[in-house]
Amino acid sequence: MTVSIIIPVYNERPYIEEVLLRVQAVRLEKEVLVVDDGSTDGTRELLRDLEKTQAAGQTEAPLRNGRALLSLENIRFIFQDSNCGKGAALRRGFEMANGEVLLVQDADLEYDPRDYQKLLEPIFDGRADVVYGSRFLGGPQRVHYFWHYAGNKFLTLLSDMLTNLKLTDMETCYKVFRREVVQSIHFRSDRFGFEPEFTAKVARGNWRVYEVPISYSGRTYAEGKKITWRDGFTTLWCILRFNLFD
């Protein structure tokens, strides 16, 4: 199976090259779709330069720090006209993906592409239609932000009560699913509401859902973390909306 890796990007200039390098290092039949969501910190210009290098027929580009060469094979660059949010960027990526399996990868260094094999295994061997990568099932973690952990557990519990799924990490970035799953769902959320919306609609579709442990290296706000307490309230509303009213 070909795996389409969708990477929504917004203002990740310090990390995006390293993320792409790590994704390309995974031995996998894949295509990589990088969706820039109106970045203003130089990320967009960097991706445009990579696209130009690719268009010129070159298959590799040196990283800006000169440490390595980035393979440009199987990468597609997509540019949103303005910042519309993670959910909107993912919808664009889903529409353009060609793979039989789709995988969501954040554009920072919190999630490790070396976990792809265990994320994909339940789908490749026919047991699952959807796989969540859980940060709370025993994988190694960088430790900080207790209240983020507590908020995540509360939101996951509420989502589980309404969907009747027994997930430990509804808010995880790592969601992997067969193409027919996303083709059966009409997504509405433009921003971080994608996570509870996806979970609510997967539960209603009676797809086979698995959860596997992953590693997690969470960022601090000084390092560029974007989630705030306001997003927690938005997620709470989206859990109620997409399970009770949508």
For 137, 156, 191, 199, the CA distances from 235, given in Å and listed in that order, are 22, 10, 10, 12
Alpha helices in the chain (DSSP H): 16-25, 43-55, 86-96, 116-124, 146-163, 179-183, 194-204, 229-240
Residue 224: is its pLDDT beyond 70?
Answer: no
| Phi, psi dihedral angles at 120 (to 5 degrees) | -85, -20
Mark residue 68 as left, alpha or beta (left: phi above 0; alpha: psi -120 to 50; beta: remaining).
Answer: beta
Q: What is the pLDDT of residue 140?
A: 75
Q: What is the pLDDT of residue 86?
A: 94
Q: What is the pLDDT of residue 24?
A: 96
Question: How confident is the model over 9-36, as a mean pLDDT?
Answer: 96
The overall average pLDDT reported for the chain is 92
CB 174 within 8 A of CB 214: yes
Q: pLDDT tens across 184-219, in order?
A: 999 998 888 999 999 999 999 989 999 999 999 886
Q: pLDDT tens across 109-145, in order?
A: 899 999 999 999 999 999 999 999 999 998 777 766 7
Give the rounded percent of residues in the chain with a pLDDT score beyond 70.
95
Question: How confident is the model over 27-35, as a mean pLDDT?
Answer: 97
CB 46 within 8 A of CB 13: yes
Q: CA 33, CA 13: separation in Å to the nearest integer?
A: 17
Residue 95: is its pLDDT beyond 70?
Answer: yes
| Phi, psi dihedral angles at 212 (to 5 degrees) | -130, 150
CB 70 within 8 A of CB 50: yes
Give the rounded percent of residues in the chain with a pLDDT score beyond 90.
80
Residue 52: is its pLDDT beyond 70?
Answer: yes
Nearest residue to 218 via CA among 136, 118, 117: 136
Alpha carbon 14 to its chain's center: 18
Q: Tokens standing for 32?
A: 């990589």
178 Cβ neighbours under 8 A, 6+ residues apart: 100, 101, 102, 123, 129, 130
CB 33 within 8 A of CB 6: yes
Q: Tokens standing for 3?
A: 């795996």
Q: Tokens standing for 35?
A: 């969706």
Confidence of residue 147 (pLDDT cuts 50, 70, 90): confident
Q: pLDDT tens across 60-92, in order?
A: 999 887 778 999 999 999 999 999 999 999 999
